[in-house]
Amino acid sequence: MNMNKFILKKSVRQMSTSRRKFIKISALGLGGVAASTTALNLFGTSPFFDAVVLDEVAKKLHRTPTYCEVCFWKCAAWAYSDSEGNIPKILGNETDPHCYGRLCPRGTGGVGMYNDTDRLKTPLIRKMVDGEQTFVESSWEEALDLVAGKFKAVKEKYGSESFALLKHGSPGKHLEHLFKAYGSDTIAEPAYAQCRGAREAGFALTFGSWVGSPEPTDIRDTKCLVLIGSHIGENMHNSQVQEMSDAIDNGATIITVDPRYSTAASKSKYWLAIKPATDIALMLAWMNVIIEEGLYDKDYVEKYTTGFNELKKHVLNFSPEWAYGITTIKPAEIRKTAREMANAAPAVIIHPGRHVAWYGDDTQRARAMAILNALLGSWGRRGGFYFKESISIPKYPSPKYPQPEWGWPEIGEKYPLAQMGITTEVIKASLPSEDNKYPVKAWMVAGTNLTKSIPNKELLENAMNELEFLVVLDTMPMDITGYADVVLPECTYLERFDGIRSATNREPSIAVRFPAVKPKYDSKPGWWVAKQIGDRLGLNEYFDYDDYKDVIAWQLDKMGTSIEEMIKIGVKHYPRKSGGLYLKDGEPYNFPTSSGKIELYSKELKDLGFDPLPKYTKHPEPPAGFYRLNYGRAPMHTFSRTANNPNLNDLMNENNLWVNPKVARILGLTSGSEVWLRNQDKVTSTFPIKVRVTERIRWDSVYMVHGFGHDNKKLSRAYGKGINDTQLISKVYEDPIMGGTGMRGNFVEILTDNPHNTVES
Ligand SMILES: Nc1nc2c(c(=O)[nH]1)N[C@H]1C(S)=C(S)[C@@H](COP(=O)(O)OP(=O)(O)OC[C@H]3O[C@@H](n4cnc5c(=O)[nH]c(N)nc54)[C@H](O)[C@@H]3O)O[C@H]1N2
Ligand SMILES: Nc1nc2c(c(=O)[nH]1)N[C@H]1C(S)=C(S)[C@@H](COP(=O)(O)OP(=O)(O)OC[C@H]3O[C@@H](n4cnc5c(=O)[nH]c(N)nc54)[C@H](O)[C@@H]3O)O[C@H]1N2
Ligand code: SF4
Ligand SMILES: [Mo]
């Protein structure tokens, strides 16, 4: 035992001396590329999503209930498999409120995750071979023994708290259980500080509750949907896109505020091509009009809100004329759109957005959105926001977790209203320094490709260099795996059991994920990996089952159903228990804020030294010769995770740089020209990108789809295709309220000559 410990510590040290050369192994051969012809007519009358059409072939196949893992909307689906282990089709579950029986193009193409021959196939261990660091294939036994040994070593040397879990998606849940049992609550995910954290903080401050996922937006019944930088239609969150399509058919007014002519903008009555980073000014002017013209919902404001007088005073001078100078939106347009919203009220939605880590004042921007909704009385009203409900999944018996001495809340203590771990703070805590009270020494990374999802690559790489141990659990040889000491191959969602999905929606429902096929290669489910490590750490009591199926069976039984029933239905609905979907006329209602009211004026923010009412702050603008780097989603891809998916890569295999014709003329660019980008901190893109000249982007910005420009040659389809926006996001604007990392204040110049041909300083 002691000997073992000594060897472990020694190898930990050896690891840390020659750290951490990014391992690129030459590409494997191209796998069979499956074709997919999903209709992408997003808002048209013909089916824009894959409809539930069971052809003769599918009828002969075996169907298994699952929920999709291509993004985090988690649509319930049926995987159709044959006896040879092929999955010819995945279709939406008709009774599922997340998808209404139709998957988006990514969900349909999800089978590409299973078929991708570039997948991780066996555990890999970083070793020195002929003086070179390389990955050597290993057995699960060897890899898990090594990983468990590191868990023990870190615990003995520093305490369990020093082992961090950075995770996203389904595997994260299983590993979170392992980490908590082991004594570490040092846990974070990019879906908070890099995504929706600021929105949750802003809405919680105002209404007392998170927006959550799916957003409880009553889009199907709305009369007016206001999208502020939320590009539903390219952002393919399924039921939202379908409900928006229905709302358009029913004559709802769409108002889109976006510096880019998005798909949503093209379906809108009003497209407000706002100057980037000025949205708070627009919203203050809208409040000004709504209050000055008496268009707000007086009964609702009187009954349910507090701080109206302060708000009224605050917005008095923020006229549309004032906002015009800031936003470039004409005063008449501001007035007209404010009146449209008020006309539709309370069936109006100022959509809270989702990825809101933009400029650092993001919680305040979310507050402005929340306040507008409150003025129009849309929260708890038909066509506005409904009161969501879910059913809780019974907890499988397991001992109490030990209490760690510190964890994510302490690491993020600088940010008083952070409600989840802040990835970037965990990363900073991994840099050794005298005054680091919370030293992080090792990471497990599961289901998140940090090198693409976390801004400030230098910080990330420095932190990874300092780690004593880094283990990555992934399905694909993504960039992040190149930094690992041990890589563990997870099987895809189509090959495993996972936790029961409880939907927070108009009514509660659950969905299950059962394996449709056996795991390919030597890959294993995340639950199994967690249990194997747990057992090696003597935490057997926390993993008191042989198969995760037993856990699910136990939980389903407690919920009045069974594996047998769920195999047949996939989704089960439960009645609401919390009351109506909407407020009844004049119904007394206690909002879960400290005052019991919707807080237009936030005393909580005031007490913490922040602005109690949102105000506009000017943000830096691109210097001459530079353009603001804007990014977003494409309907057929999810972040970086689908770039190599054979089906989805077929639909789009690289990103383009949207450039306004004015800029193209000045720089002599035409559509298809290859350019490189260099940002304000002299970071140059590794790869080039093809230009797309289009009026759809303002002249002060350029735009690209996030998730391309992969560095790892093992991704045979995605390697070197397009530019990685994250690489160019070296400047981060921190949200002082909740620790979000604003990423939209980076500026790039466009290089027409290959900068990598010349000697760079
Ligand atoms: N520059 C920039 N940065 C961003 C964003 C942006 O738009 N631009 N968006 C932000 C937002 S909104 C979010 S939510 C985050 C998302 O950030 P991430 O969750 O990190 O997103 P992905 O790039 O999809 O990385 C997911 C990883 O999970 C792996 N994976 C997929 N399925 C499985 C599985 O079943 N098991 C395991 N173990 N691994 C799996 C994939 O191969 C991939 O490596 O990024 C944020 N960061
Ligand atoms: N197909 C697909 N769909 C997805 C995802 C995916 O990867 N692929 N990811 C999902 C996830 S996790 C998230 S968080 C959501 C994110 O999706 P959303 O929350 O809808 O959008 P964002 O990525 O924040 O914003 C992108 C839009 O903001 C605009 N924009 C940029 N700067 C400004 C500005 O200063 N003001 C305004 N008003 N607009 C601006 C851009 O032009 C672009 O149209 O998408 C989800 N849906
Ligand atoms: S929205 Fe699309 S990718 Fe996301 S879970 Fe649903 S089908 Fe899958
Ligand atoms: Mo996100």
**What digits encode the pLDDT tens for the residues 108-149?**
999 999 999 999 999 999 999 999 999 999 999 999 999 999
pLDDT interval class at 47 (50, 70, 90): very low
CATH topology of domain 627-751: Barwin-like endoglucanases (2.40.40)
Residue 361: CB partners within 8 Å, gap ≥ 6? 280, 614, 617, 735, 742
Averaged confidence pLDDT in the chain: 93
Q: Does domain 1-29+122-189+421-489 have CATH number 3.40.50.740?
A: yes
Instruction: Taking residues 642-649, report their average pLDDT.
Output: 97
pLDDT of residue 5: 29
DSSP one-letter code for 722: S
pLDDT of residue 264: 96
pLDDT interval class at 9 (50, 70, 90): very low
Find the 487 Cα to ligand 3 centroid distance in Å: 27
Q: Where are the domains of the chain?
A: 1-29+122-189+421-489, 31-115+491-524+545-580, 196-387+588-607, 627-751
**What digits encode the pLDDT tens for the residues 554-569?**
999 999 999 999 999 9
Given a cut of 80, whether residue 50 has pLDDT beyond it is no
Instruction: Taking residues 350-357, report their average pLDDT.
Output: 98
pLDDT of residue 60: 84
Ligand nearest to C-alpha 633: 2
Find the 447 Cα to ligand 1 centroid distance in Å: 7
What atom in ligand 3 is closest to the CA of residue 638?
Answer: 3
pLDDT interval class at 23 (50, 70, 90): low
Joined together, the tokens standing for residue 413 give 């203590």
pLDDT of residue 691: 98
**What digits encode the pLDDT tens for the residues 450-470?**
999 999 999 999 999 999 999
Residue 614: CB partners within 8 Å, gap ≥ 6? 280, 283, 284, 361, 364, 365, 367, 368, 371
- CB of 236 closer than 6 angstroms to any ligand 3 atom: yes
Find the 335 Cα to ligand 3 centroid distance in Å: 37
pLDDT interval class at 52 (50, 70, 90): low
pLDDT of residue 53: 57
Which of 415, 416, 412, 417 lies closest to 428, judged by CA?
412
How many CA atoms lie less than 13 Å away from 246 in the CB half-sphere?
13
Buried b (16+ CB within 10 A) or exposed e, 247-273: bbeeebbbbbbbbbbbbbbebbebbbb
Question: How far apart, in whole angstroms, are the C-alpha atoms of residue 617 and residue 631?
Answer: 22
pLDDT of residue 13: 30
Given a cut of 80, whether residue 41 has pLDDT beyond it is no
Kindly report the three-state secondary structure assignment for every residue of 152-210: HHHHHHCCHHHEEEEECCHHHHHHHHHHHHHCCECEECHHHHHHHHHHHHHHHHHHCCC
DSSP helix/strand/coil, 720: coil
pLDDT of residue 55: 65
Instruction: Taking residues 255-265, report their average pLDDT.
Output: 97
**What digits encode the pLDDT tens for the residues 410-461?**
999 999 899 999 999 999 999 999 999 999 999 999 999 999 999 999 999 9
pLDDT interval class at 675 (50, 70, 90): very high
CA distances 590 to 72, 299, 305, 306, 380, Å, are 31, 16, 10, 12, 12
Which of 664, 658, 654 lies closest to 629, judged by CA?
658
Joined together, the tokens standing for residue 340 give 């449209």
Given a cut of 50, whether residue 79 has pLDDT beyond it is yes
- Ligand 2 binding pocket (C-beta < 6 A) is 71-72, 195-196, 228-231, 235-237, 257-260, 262, 274, 276-277, 279, 353-355, 630, 632-635, 637-639, 744
User: Following CA atoms 597, 599, 601, 607 in sequence, which dihedral angle do they give, to the nearest 10 degrees?
Assistant: 100
- CB of 702 closer than 6 angstroms to any ligand 3 atom: no
User: Following CA atoms 366, 369, 371, 374 in sequence, which dihedral angle do they give, to the nearest 10 degrees?
Assistant: -130
Q: CA torsion sign, 635 to 640 to 645 to 650?
A: positive
pLDDT interval class at 652 (50, 70, 90): very high
DSSP one-letter code for 480: G
- Among the residue ranges 20-24, 324-328, 373-377, 645-649, the one predicted with the least confidence is 20-24
- Among the residue ranges 32-41, 120-129, 295-304, 712-721, the one predicted with the least confidence is 32-41
* C-beta separation of 542 from 531 below 8 A: no
Question: How far apart, in whole angstroms, are the C-alpha atoms of residue 567 and residue 564?
Answer: 5
Residue corresponding to tokens 């796998």:
31
- CB of 598 closer than 6 angstroms to any ligand 3 atom: no
CATH number belonging to the domain at 196-387+588-607, selected among 3.40.50.170, 3.40.640.10, 3.40.228.10, 3.30.1280.10: 3.40.228.10
Instruction: Taking residues 507-521, report their average pLDDT.
Output: 98
* C-beta separation of 107 from 99 below 8 A: yes
CATH number belonging to the domain at 31-115+491-524+545-580, selected among 3.40.50.620, 3.30.70.250, 3.30.200.210, 3.40.50.410: 3.30.200.210
